[in-house]
Structures are given as C-alpha cells and as structure tokens.
Structure 1
Amino acid sequence: MASTAAFLSTLAGSTSLGAATPASGGGSKKARFLVPAAAQRRRGVVRAAVSGTEQAAPASGETTKKKGGSDERVVQVHSAEEFDGALRAAKNRLVVVEFAASHSVNSSRIYPCMVELSRTCGDVDFLLVMGDESDATRELCRREGITAVPHFSFYKGAEKVHEEEGIGPDQLAGDVLYYGDHHSAVVQLHSRADVESLISDHRGDAGKLVVLDVGLKRCGPCVKVYPTVVKLSRTMADTTVFARMNGDENDSCMEFLRDMDVIEVPTFLFIKDGEIVGRYVGSGRGELIGEILRYNGVRVTY
C-alpha cells in the first residue's frame, strides 16, 4: 500500500480543473488510492435519491430557458462579491454551483435537473452563474478556472471539494447526494472514536449488522454506489445499520483505513457483535446487496 504522504500528494495534484479526473462514473468497480477513476458521461433519469423517486429528464431536443433566482431555491449570482457572500452565508452547508452560458444547449438541458434537486435537497444551496452575462461574471469564471460549460462546482465552508463538467442528470443527482447528504439513515463517521462508539452500540444478540462504507471524497466508484447505500439504509433499517467514512477527511480516518488494511475503495466492512466478519471491495449493486444479505444470515445463491 502506498504511503500516506504519496497518497495525499497525488490527491492534491488532482484538484486543478485542467487535469482533474471527475469523481463519478467510469466502468471500474473500485478505485485504487493512487489511480484516479475514469469519468463516465451519462444522461438518463434524474435519480432523486433523497426522496426515493425518479423523474424523467428533458428530451434530447428540449431546451429550457434559465430563470435563475425565479426558479425556487436556485439563486443566480451576478458578481464575485455575490458569489463569495453566498459561500460564506452557507457555512458548512453544501453549495452546488452551475456555471452556464446562454448559448449552451447542454447548460439549458441540465438546468431543470438542478431545479428538481433544489426541491428535494433542503440541506443544499444551489447557485447559477451565467458566464456570458457580463464582464463581472466572465471575470468570476476566470477566477474559478471555468473553461467549459456546463460546469458544476461543489463547495463546503467556502472551499471547493469537487467539480464536474459535461455530466448528465443522474450523475449530478448522485454527486449532490454524496457530498451533501446529512439527513439519511446513513451514519456519518468522522473519526476512529465514532467507529468504536457505533460498534459498541450494536454488540450482543440484539445488535444489528453494521455495514461501514469506506471511501474517499474524490472517488468515482464511491460516488456511484452511494445512492444504493442510502436506499438500503431505509429498506433494511430493521436488521442493518449503514455508516460511511471518507478516509481523506482527517488523520484519524486515514489511520483507521491503514489499520483496517483498506487498499482499494470503496471497501465495505461488515461488523457483527463487535467483530469484522467480512468485507466487500467494489461498487457492484447486486454484489453488495448479496453480501449484506449473506452476513444477515440469508442464504444467497450466485
């Protein structure tokens, strides 16, 4: 396994827009720490995982006029000052920004998806920047390194945590869920102490199976499988507790990954009565469900 220093160096080098590998998609079922996940550019239905519903995306030839602030919770900003003020006001809430242009058909096509997400994701702020609106918005795009539209940037605590361009509605919905989800049944773990406390709560015969999803912030397969984790956390709540930890969140999380010998992500650890009884490495939905059922005592035939 690569050293922590080498991993962090590689991670830092992947954040610039020009060389960034998008965090979602790709045909790979798992990502090694030092190998960025390939991008998968997909279009399809809007998977509103927060509400558990699906809504049809606009037809391929359909365009929608951008309305900015009039579209409910999507707020259009017109300058760097307004942009920075919105990020500060959001504090630790996720802020999703679409950088668009009036001449871009793809910008118009993806925008209704963002409006729909704004209706279901109450814990996320949504901003719209029309890059060709004025000199002020063009300068803002230059400052943020935007070279093509539509471009989506994700911010927390006024810090950019993720960015994508050329994505479809389902990809956008998955990214919003992964980076902004704080209200699902998935327990968010931020340290070794959090893990130990959760395990302690589910010891004994009355304890549930704990499924710990270990990933990284900029991991395509981790983002891809997370909507499944959210849905399972609701449908299997009687027998299973789902939790998540991003190994690159802090030193305590990274140390936990090393101690658990996690080399590839996403890795799912199955914990029962205080003991790790198994693990699954990958992002295959069917395989993951099969493993969870198996560790819950259900006979599974592959």
Structure 2
Amino acid sequence: MATISNFSSNPSSSLSTIHKTNFFFSHFSILPFVSKRKPPATKLRTNRTQFLVTKATAAPGTKKARRDERVQKVHSIEEFDEALRTAKNKLVVVEYAASDSSESSQIYPFMVELSRTCNDVEFLLVMKDESEKTRELCRREKIEQVPHFSFYKSLEKIHEEEGIGPDMLVGDVLYYGDNHSAVVQLHNREDVEKLIDDHKADHKLIVLDVGLKHCGPCVKVYPTVVKLSRQMADNVVFARMNGDENDSCMRFLKDMDVVEVPTFLFIRDGKICGRYVGSGKGELIGEILRYQGVRVTY
C-alpha cells in the first residue's frame, strides 16, 4: 500500500453530508473465501489476465489479417506526434518493441486483444529496429529497453512501464483510460457530494475507490473494481477518485482520514458505514457483500 505522507494525524472536519467513522473494519471469518493476510503491497502478478481473450496472435513484424487493425504502426517522429495530436484527450498506449525481442513478441498479442475491447483508447506500435527514423524517435523518447509502454493524454506522458505482463498492462489501460466502464469518475469534493445526494433516495451502497495516480496496488485492484461495477450495477454504485489529482481531492482524503491507498469507502444514505484498506480482491468482494447484508458461511 502507498502511504500519503503529508496528512496530519488530526484530520479536519468532515463533510457536512458525510458522517466520518473513526475506525477501520477488520476482516471477518464468516467469509471463507477471504484471506486474513493482506497481499504484499508492491508485488504485482504478471499472470495472464482473465479480462482478455488470451489466444495469442502473431508477433510484431509478421502479417496479420485485420487482427491488429486498431494498433497503429508508427514509423517516424512526425507520425508519432500526429497520432498524439489526433487522439486529443484520449488515452494513447505506445508499445516500443524490437523484432529480435522475445518479450515484445509475447506481450504484443495481449495489446492487440486489449485494443479490440477498449475503443476509447488509441494504441500505437513503434518498432525500435525498423529504421533510422524509429531509432531517432526512441532516442527522443529516451527508450532504452524493450518492450516499453508509455501512456499519453493530451500530448503529455502520464505513465510508463517496462517488463510488465498482461495483468499489469490491462490494469494500466483501465486505470489511466477508464472512460467506458460503470465506475463513476470523481474529480473534486463537489462530485462526491452530488453522487451521495443522487443515491440517498434509492439507498444504494456507494463503493468509493480512493487512490493515487502512480500507485501500483491501486492499479492492480482496479480491473476487479471495473468488473464488479458491471456485475453489481443494480445494487451498488462504484466510484473512483485520485487523491493527487488536485487540491480539492487531497482535502477530501484528509477530511476522510485516508492515510493509505487504495482505500475503499462504503457509503450509504449519506454516511460512511465502513472502509477497507488494501488491494486484496477477495477481501474487497467480501467486504462489499458484507455491507450488502450477505452472510457467507462455511
């Protein structure tokens, strides 16, 4: 877990529409599928993700029949810059690869499959050893090792990764470019208050995922949040806020006594009824079920 080090030990007053609890809920033994031991905060799995079709496609540099038509091949600095300008505020995922890299060949098929399911994200491929023009591009972008993934929004590089597997790639794409899921994106305190007011009448449980922009555990658990938001849409509202997006978000985290991320706040009828701190998928599901009144026995 990441720690928000600049929080004071005595948080300021709560939101007028939210009554803050001063305790953390522990994990309950009534949930047999929930581990009592929290997973390591920084150990990220690189197994094949279940959010993708894992049938491999052809490696970079080979002929493919329309399978990777959404992955744009970039051959020069000019083409690269134009692709970023055309994408505007969409997330752009760039894979830097090489024809003699087995790691590039292994990860590329998963990017192809991901491109077919995320229509609001643009995907680019740069073959470092294709020509002097692509080598020049890689020098400008300071790419030394491949495969290397860079993430851009509005012409700005917002994140980059090296040596990642399919799980991490999916998590990054969802986390930094999530405009298509049922997770409500919150950008300030006013957004939180409006969401709470909107669901006072229907008494739905709100699960607020609080994280930071560059938090590995936050990225790791987010695909689970997206999946649950689709499966539980009738009864649960899922929302997300990055605490370091702006001052308003950071003040909200401080008011809610959030000192580690990811933290999940459970809100019903305008009140915080509990929280879960951590990135354990099973534990998160168990806590959501518990606040939904579902009792699981052995």
TM-score by length of 1: 0.81
Question: 1:173 aligned to 156, 160, 170, which one?
Answer: 170
Residues 117, 173 of structure 1: 8 Å contact kept:
yes
Gap regions ≥5 residues in structure 1: 5-26, 32-36, 49-53
Residues 173-222 of structure 1: CA deviation (Å, up to 9, x unaligned): 22111111111111011110000000011114x32000000001111111
C-alpha RMSD of matched pairs (Å): 2.3
Partner of 1:288: 284
1:79-118 correspondence runs (5 A): 79-118=76-115
Q: Do structure 1's residue 47 and structure 2's residue 51 form an aligned pair?
A: yes
Residues 66, 108 of structure 1: 8 Å contact kept:
no
Residues 77, 128 of structure 1: 8 Å contact kept:
yes
Residues 57, 169 of structure 1: 8 Å contact kept:
no
Quick one: which amino acid aligns to residue 42 of structure 1?
A: T
Q: Do structure 1's residue 209 and structure 2's residue 233 form an aligned pair?
A: no
Quick one: which amino acid aligns to residue 74 of structure 1?
A: V
- Partner SS, residue 274 of structure 2: strand
- Whole-angstrom CA distance in 2 between matches of 1:170 and 1:250: 28
Residues 220, 279 of structure 2: 8 Å contact kept:
yes
Partner of 2:193: 196
- Whole-angstrom CA distance in 1 between matches of 2:128 and 2:159: 19
- Whole-angstrom CA distance in 2 between matches of 1:124 and 1:300: 39
Percent identity (aligned): 71
- Whole-angstrom CA distance in 2 between matches of 1:298 and 1:46: 25
- Whole-angstrom CA distance in 2 between matches of 1:45 and 1:211: 24
- Whole-angstrom CA distance in 2 between matches of 1:159 and 1:85: 13
Residues 36-88 of structure 1: CA deviation (Å, up to 9, x unaligned): x45x362424623xxxxx43457xxx856455996301111111111111111
Shift of the 72–63 alpha-carbon distance from structure 1 to 2, 3 Å rule, reads closer
1:20-35 correspondence runs (5 A): 29=39
- Whole-angstrom CA distance in 2 between matches of 1:300 and 1:176: 33
Question: How far does residue 292 in structure 1 lie from its aligned partner after superposition?
Answer: 0.7
- Partner SS, residue 162 of structure 1: strand
- Whole-angstrom CA distance in 2 between matches of 1:254 and 1:149: 35
- Partner SS, residue 176 of structure 1: helix
Quick one: which amino acid aligns to residue 120 of structure 1?
A: T
Partner of 2:235: 239
Partner of 1:22: none
Question: 2:248 aligned to 252, 271, 276, which one?
Answer: 252
Residues 139-166 of structure 1: CA deviation (Å, up to 9, x unaligned): 2111111110000001011111111111
Gap regions ≥5 residues in structure 2: 8-36
Residues 59, 108 of structure 2: 8 Å contact kept:
no
- Whole-angstrom CA distance in 1 between matches of 2:260 and 2:109: 35
1:273-284 correspondence runs (5 A): 273-284=269-280
Quick one: which amino acid aligns to residue 47 of structure 1?
A: F
Shift of the 123–68 alpha-carbon distance from structure 1 to 2, 3 Å rule, reads farther
- Partner SS, residue 206 of structure 2: strand
Residues 43, 167 of structure 1: 8 Å contact kept:
no
Shift of the 162–168 alpha-carbon distance from structure 1 to 2, 3 Å rule, reads same
Shift of the 93–194 alpha-carbon distance from structure 1 to 2, 3 Å rule, reads same
Shift of the 46–153 alpha-carbon distance from structure 1 to 2, 3 Å rule, reads farther
Question: How far does residue 118 in structure 1 lie from its aligned partner after superposition?
Answer: 1.1
- Whole-angstrom CA distance in 2 between matches of 1:29 and 1:75: 37
Residues 215-242 of structure 1: CA deviation (Å, up to 9, x unaligned): 0111111111111111111111121100
- Partner SS, residue 106 of structure 1: helix
Residues matched between the structures, number: 265
Question: How far does residue 2 in structure 1 lie from its aligned partner after superposition?
Answer: 2.4
Residues 45, 167 of structure 2: 8 Å contact kept:
no
Q: Which runs of 4+ in 1 moved over 3 A?
A: 27-31, 62-70
Shift of the 243–286 alpha-carbon distance from structure 1 to 2, 3 Å rule, reads same
Shift of the 171–136 alpha-carbon distance from structure 1 to 2, 3 Å rule, reads same
- Whole-angstrom CA distance in 2 between matches of 1:67 and 1:76: 13
TM-score by length of 2: 0.82
- Whole-angstrom CA distance in 2 between matches of 1:44 and 1:150: 17
Partner of 2:5: 2
- Whole-angstrom CA distance in 2 between matches of 1:96 and 1:69: 22
